Amino acid sequence: MPEPEKIKLRRLHIGDVDAVFSLDRLSFTRPWSRDSYLEELGNNELARYIGFFDGERLIAFAGYWMIVDEGHIVNVAVHPDYRRLGWGELLMRRLITLCLADGGCRMTLEVRRHNTAGCRLY
């Protein structure tokens, strides 16, 4: 188990695209393309992404689009080695705080019915 004080949270940027893409591929059966993340992190003015890092290793990330006063969560992923340790919940709490700071008053997240981990976040 990682030492919590060594885990750092920060906003993600274009230089993180390979790490985000790799974690997405580990986490989902239908991952986004690398080009999609290039667009999200480099050009989408509505997109806000944050990630937890254990040293240089991205262990979890999430992103949302700020549309008027609503944050639409588009992706949440936690590295398999770090699952069931509370990082997903903490990541969601940080997203909510960020959305509120952006002027949001609600957030949405669509989860596939068979995604039990995602459903538990509700």
Residues constituting the chain: 122
Active-site annotation holder among 3, 45, 56, 110 = 110
In angstroms, what CA-CA distances link 117 with 24, 25, 81?
15, 17, 15
Q: Where are the beta strands (DSSP E) in the chain?
A: 7-11, 47-54, 57-67, 70-78, 106-109
37 annotated active-site: no
Active-site annotation holder among 3, 5, 45, 122 = 122
110 annotated active-site: yes
The letter for the amino acid at 96 is I
Q: Show which residues are catalytic.
A: 110, 122
